[in-house]
Amino acid sequence: MSPLVVVAGQRSSGPALCIAVFLIISKKVFGLDLDTIETNVSLTTTIDYDIPVQDMASETLMAISPCHQFETEFEFYSPGYPQPYPNNTECIRLLEAGPGEIIELDFRDSFTIEPSIGCKHDHLEIRDGPYGYSVPANYYCGNQFPPKIISSGKYLWLRFRSDENIEYEGFHAVYKFIKKPPPDIEKSELPPCRKFVDGSQGYINSTEVDDLKNKTLANQVPLDCMWIIRVKPGWKIQLNFKEFSLEKPNDCGLNVVEIFSNRTDMASRLKVFCGSIAEMVQSSGDTLHVRFLAEGKGVKSKFSALYTAYRTKTKDEACGSDQYDCEDLTCIASELRCNKVENCRFRWDEDGCPEEDNRLMQLFSSFDIIVILVVFFLILCGMCSAFITNIVRKLVHDHRIIK
């Protein structure tokens, strides 16, 4: 099953949802007349008990998530289909084919989405690629069936979105994987450039993708790499660039670094760096996407960034026993204290640390250096002794000649 992300504008509390599911089961199984049952429970999500569905599991899932309408592995429905889709709903799905395959997407039975100029209200968005910024992008609405869609690669990114107003019946789509046409198979296919990192701190570096740079130049395609940084739920991410050197600064078409939040659509883009400086970035959640896009000479661009997991706190709140207080209303893992890496925004985690970084102390704390110094001292003493001995002999010799 392809991964699914759900962002719904309607939510229900846990106890209320349990009671709602119980009432549904009572009506379906025991035939109880729900109209005669009095209850003081108030539901944020409105459930229509007369909605015809295929089975009880579907109805229960609809109460939990309006985006559950993925009936089989190769089908995609609008929320609530064939009933009108709910308002203020957003569903995202990524379709991924296997190596040497592409995706064929077709629409069946019905396609009815609120019509609008430019599909700026309710719409189905389809992007030819794995991300919310992939291009080309097409938006569909109204009552005309979209054409059969065939991807150029192994990914299609889908998003259905409805606003707060009118709801329509929606759509039903099916997709399948087909082999690439022969000309495309002959051209070597580059592996997805995607890196996943986590932990309390770490680095992302352009040198990690050096092996792909020559391949992209040989295939005359852009280098498009994504680092996905994830930290503990409830924590955030601070990204601090230690090196940022673009081969063609101020040319965003040849080399650019883009920062996205937990999603990759353009509305979630936080920063765009294509000049000579990249400033620090802080996330609003526990996920950050870093995209490096380059082509031509821009592929030789270099960057390195340190990420640190942190959590925010109130003024009167204390950091946990396994955390260090950065004194700016943030906490980091205590293991990052005095690790010779500046993780706090104002560098307090490296302030007042033992003078282990004193170069003189490091010099004399090394056994190898001490041995070298002793040997050097002995050699120097030997040379001095030989020099003094020669001088004494010469003075004695000269004294005898004078006599």
Residue 220 has pLDDT above 50, yes or no: yes
* Residue scoring higher pLDDT (240 or 364): 240
Mean of all residue pLDDT scores within the chain: 81
Q: Which CATH superfamily is domain 193-312 in?
A: Spermadhesin, CUB domain (2.60.120.290)
Higher pLDDT, 309 or 15: 309
- Ordered by start, the domain boundaries in the chain are 68-179, 193-312
Indicate the range of 195-209, 298-312, 388-402 predicted with least confidence. Answer: 388-402
pTM for the whole thing?
0.67
DSSP 269-317: EEEEE-SS----EE-SSSEEEEEEEE-GGGGG-EEEEEEEEEEE--TTP
**pLDDT value of position 141:** 96
Check whether 144 has a pLDDT greater than 80: yes
- List the one residue out of 301, 294, 249, 297 whose CA is nearest residue 274: 249
Q: What value does the mean pLDDT take over residues 3-28?
A: 42
* Distance of alpha carbon 50 from alpha carbon 48, whole angstroms: 5
Residue 30: both structure tokens together:
């025991």
Q: How far is CA 114 from CA 72, 90, 267, 280, 329, in A?
A: 26, 15, 22, 41, 46
DSSP state of 181: P
pLDDT on residue 301: 96
362 pLDDT more than 50: yes
53/190: higher pLDDT: 190
Q: Name which residue leads in pLDDT, 275 or 22.
A: 275
Neighbouring C-beta atoms of residue 253, cutoff 10 Å: 13
pLDDT at 86 over 70: yes
- 193-207, 217-231, 318-332, 352-366: range with lowest mean pLDDT: 352-366
Sorted by sequence, the CB contacts under 8 Å of residue 237 that are 6+ apart come out as 229, 231, 282, 283, 286, 287, 288, 307, 308, 309, 310
Domains 68-179 and 193-312 share a fold: yes
- Contact yes or no for 213/255 (Cβ under 8 A): no
| Residue linked to tokens 């004294």 | 399
User: pLDDT-derived band of residue 38, with 50, 70 and 90 as boundaries?
Assistant: very low
For residue 329, pLDDT over 90 is answered with yes
Residue 54 pLDDT exceeds 80: no
Beta bridge partners of 348: none
Instruction: Judge whether residue 8 has pLDDT over 70.
Output: no
Mean pLDDT of 83-112: 93
Please state which of the ranges 160-169, 317-326, 393-402 shows the lowest mean pLDDT: 393-402
pLDDT at residue 394, as a whole number: 75
Give pLDDT tens digits for 268-281.
Answer: 999 999 999 999 99
**pLDDT computed for residue 18 by the predictor:** 43
Mean pLDDT of 226-248: 97
What pLDDT score does 355 carry? Answer: 65
For residues 357-365, average pLDDT: 51
Per-residue confidence (pLDDT) for residue 384, from 0 to 100:
85
State the burial class of residue 367 (Cβ atoms within 10 Å of its Cβ: 0-12, 13-18, 19+): exposed
Architecture of domain 68-179: Sandwich (2.60)
Judge whether residue 391 has pLDDT over 60.
yes
Mean pLDDT of 232-249: 97
For the chain, state the CA radius of gyration: 33
pLDDT(361) > 70: no
